[in-house]
Amino acid sequence: MAHPHSPPSRHHAPPWAWAGCGAVLGLVLASVLLAPARWLAQALAQFSGERVQLQQAQGTVWDGTARLVLRAGTDATDASVMPSPVQWRLRPRWDGLALTVAAPCCLDTPWRWQARAGWQGVQLQADDLPASASHWPAALLSGLGTPWNTVQLQGTLALHTQGLQITLGRDHWSLQGSATVDGLGLRTVLSTLQPLGSYRLALQGGATPNLTLSTLQGQLQLSGQGQLTQGRWHFTGEARSDEAAQGALGNLLNIIGRREGARSVITVG
């Protein structure tokens, strides 16, 4: 006698299993949304070799504030601190992340960046920043070590960018667009001539990114050229002074480069 087929059994997950899954999902979501700002600070310090640090970080990875500190490296004793805290806001986009950075001391308007991941690496693209909106204290450079901690520059650095795009690969990085830094009314404790003058450092991206140093005005004349080769900068320049200012600038010329008569040869890399 044939037996009728029994209906297939259905296995239902017990209520506690669904509750457990919901709890785990909630914890993961909370960890992402409430990730502390110190995580971002730790990542930046590790990536920069401790040269760029976010100290006293507060808030979350997505909305936070911190003190920006520059230093020469892990074992360096010199450090410089931005006059006001840096504020950031990070938001996901369909094609990556949007970052907004504000610094009341130095930026008249927030600076916006876009981050995207691609097969070449992480691509960072900045909104154009007019020089009139950017005023950074030159004293910040002293935290980067030699020669900045010796020269101890004072004055204002005005940063201007146009189409700036940085791609960070696994073992390389590339640059497109341009950035210009104008050092305005620069002074140093190494010279009685105050101010030294105003100068421009122009960075141009491309297949072989290059640097150009020029003098805008001043009795100390600076010039030079540099290129990015195999991930390292190589720069050669010179410093000269007007004949009338050689007495006031002699000590500085001896320190910033190799003295050759009336000029000082500057070599980096």
Q: Are residues 139 and 102 in the same domain?
A: no
User: Which of 56, 82, 114 is where one domain is finished?
Assistant: 114
Q: Are residues 149 and 102 in the same domain?
A: no
Q: Are residues 248 and 205 in the same domain?
A: yes
Long-range pairs, 128-133, Cβ under 8 A, ≥24: 128/161, 128/162, 128/163, 128/164, 129/159, 129/160, 129/161, 130/160, 131/158, 131/159, 131/160, 131/180, 131/182, 132/108, 132/158, 133/107, 133/108, 133/109
Q: Are residues 169 and 101 in the same domain?
A: no
In a domain, 242, yes or no: yes
Cα end-to-end span (Å), the chain: 94
List the pLDDT tens digit at each of the 269 positions of the chain.
Answer: 445 555 555 555 555 444 444 444 444 444 444 578 898 899 888 888 888 999 999 999 999 999 999 988 777 777 899 999 999 999 988 888 999 999 999 999 999 999 988 777 788 999 999 988 999 999 999 888 877 888 889 999 999 999 999 887 777 778 899 999 999 999 998 898 889 999 999 999 988 899 999 999 999 999 999 998 877 789 999 999 877 888 888 888 888 889 888 889 998 87
Q: Are residues 128 and 253 in the same domain?
A: yes
Both tokens of 101, joined, read: 């950075």
Name the domain count of the chain: 2
- pLDDT for 120 equals 74
Burial of 200 (0-12, 13-18, 19+ CB in 10 A): middle
Q: Are residues 135 and 71 in the same domain?
A: no
In a domain, 70, yes or no: yes
Both tokens of 93, joined, read: 């986009």
Q: Are residues 188 and 130 in the same domain?
A: yes
In angstroms, the CA 199 to CA 184 distance is: 7
- pLDDT for 3 equals 53
User: Which of 114, 142, 174 is where one domain is finished?
Assistant: 114
What region, left, alpha or beta, does residue 126 occupy, with left being phi > 0 and alpha being psi -120 to 50 degrees? beta
| Residue with token string 């997505």 | 62
Q: Are residues 50 and 136 in the same domain?
A: no
Q: Are residues 129 and 251 in the same domain?
A: yes
- pLDDT for 22 equals 44
In a domain, 47, yes or no: yes
Q: Are residues 125 and 161 in the same domain?
A: yes
Read off the pTM: 0.82
The parent domain of residue 100 ranges over 34-114
Q: Are residues 99 and 179 in the same domain?
A: no
Q: Are residues 108 and 150 in the same domain?
A: no
- pLDDT for 4 equals 53
- pLDDT for 125 equals 93
- pLDDT for 17 equals 47
In a domain, 170, yes or no: yes
In a domain, 205, yes or no: yes
